[in-house]
Amino acid sequence: MTQYSRRDAMALGAVGLAGGVLALAGCSRSPGGGGKSARVVVYSSIDRQIIEPVLAEFSRVSAAAAAAGTAGGAVFTAELVGDTEATKATGLAQRVLSEKARPRADVWLSSEGVTTAWLAREGVLSALRPPASGGPAAGADALARAIDEWPAEFRSESWISMSLRPRRIVYNTRVMDAARAPRSLDELCREDLRGRVVIARARFGTTRGHVALLHARLGDDGLLALAKRLKAVGVREVDGNATVVRAVARGEAHAGLTDSDDVYAGQREGWPVDATPDPVIADLPQSPTTLALVAGGPNAAGARALAAWLLDGALERSLAGGDWRAIPVLPRVRAELSVTEPVRAAAWDSLDVERALSIWEQGLA
């Protein structure tokens, strides 16, 4: 896969998108009309330093289109609302639910799939396609066209999966070389790693989805046995995958389980960390970035304009560069960036997440 810097990726994301995607803005003016700015509020658990430049580029392109007279006078400005490393998507999801009667968010953009599937079941996400009557016809709607291009296994009625990240075993390169590094979940349970393995708590973030996928693969007994083996060698739980990498880099742990982007971020900082793939992990679906519209959000037109722009390749191009290095799903973006890594979809809404977490926590108790 060709690796692009964030600057290169952002430039690619902007080329050719302003006219086609932001044409949707011409269908609806901002609430104040007359070219006034209309906020598009985005609740996102993607790391702020990753997603902020993408949303800033959307705002810039929207302003440029309005100035050129191609957006019907509307200027959409994306405004990011995030959360802490420890709670990430879970905390934001609770906020969406608490605001159900009077939504404040327009777009939901998450770094994993379990929480988005849960929000869909709770009825707080709207259909991505416009209704058959009222509003622009599906064939003329930029978001509908973007959805039609998306691989069927990575989309549902109310949300889209994209920009996949694999899970990795991270290890301290000052403590061990690649030959000695653990290469499987079973090897994390080695006696020489006793008291030196760290994982993120599974109630939040991508670790929750990983545990649910492991449960679907290993069953009740297999997942319980794995958790008990980790407990027996003194595994330590911390708040978040970034904290896992920091603990390994500082020598507080020698190895751990995390997301690929957190390893890349640590390497950018010059930390002594590297990663190995586990054959079981490598065969599981990767963790997706998920995009949805909040039902009843205050700026529906702006939300659809932003979603269409992101799905037209802007987000996947950007997340393929920098620390994220996510694997694109959209075929033309994969071809453009020479991506060969396979992509694997998951039926996130069918996983028995609560049972998996209960078994996992029982084994670690």
SS3 39: strand
Q: Output the pLDDT for position 322.
A: 82
pLDDT digits (tens, 9 = 90+) for 314-347: 999 999 988 889 999 999 999 999 999 999 999 9
What one-character DSSP code corresponds to residue 327? Answer: B
Could you give the domains of the chain?
Answer: 6-164+288-329 (3.40.190.10), 167-285+354-364 (3.40.190.10)
- CA 359 to mean position of chain CA atoms: 25
State the residue for tokens 């104040």.
Answer: 32
Q: Is the pLDDT of residue 24 over 90?
A: no
For residues 293 and 108, is the Cβ–Cβ distance under 8 A?
A: yes
Q: Is the pLDDT of residue 73 over 80?
A: no
Q: Output the pLDDT for position 205.
A: 85
Q: Output the pLDDT for position 70.
A: 67
SS3 348: helix
Q: Is the pLDDT of residue 12 over 70?
A: no
Q: Please, what is the end-to-end C-alpha distance for the chain in angstroms?
A: 41
| DSSP H helices in the chain | 6-14, 18-22, 48-67, 88-98, 114-121, 142-149, 205-232, 241-249, 260-268, 279-282, 300-309, 315-319, 331-336, 353-364
Q: Output the pLDDT for position 283.
A: 79
Burial 309-336 (b: 16+ CB within 10 A, else e): bbbbbbbbbbbbbbbbbbbbbbeebbeb
Q: Is the pLDDT of residue 92 over 50?
A: yes
Token pair for 256: 């751990």
Q: Output the pLDDT for position 3.
A: 43
pLDDT-based confidence at 131, cuts 50/70/90? low
pLDDT-based confidence at 7, cuts 50/70/90? very low
pLDDT digits (tens, 9 = 90+) for 145-203: 999 999 999 999 999 999 999 999 999 999 999 999 999 999 999 999 999 999 999 98
Q: Output the pLDDT for position 6.
A: 39
Give this prediction's pTM.
0.85
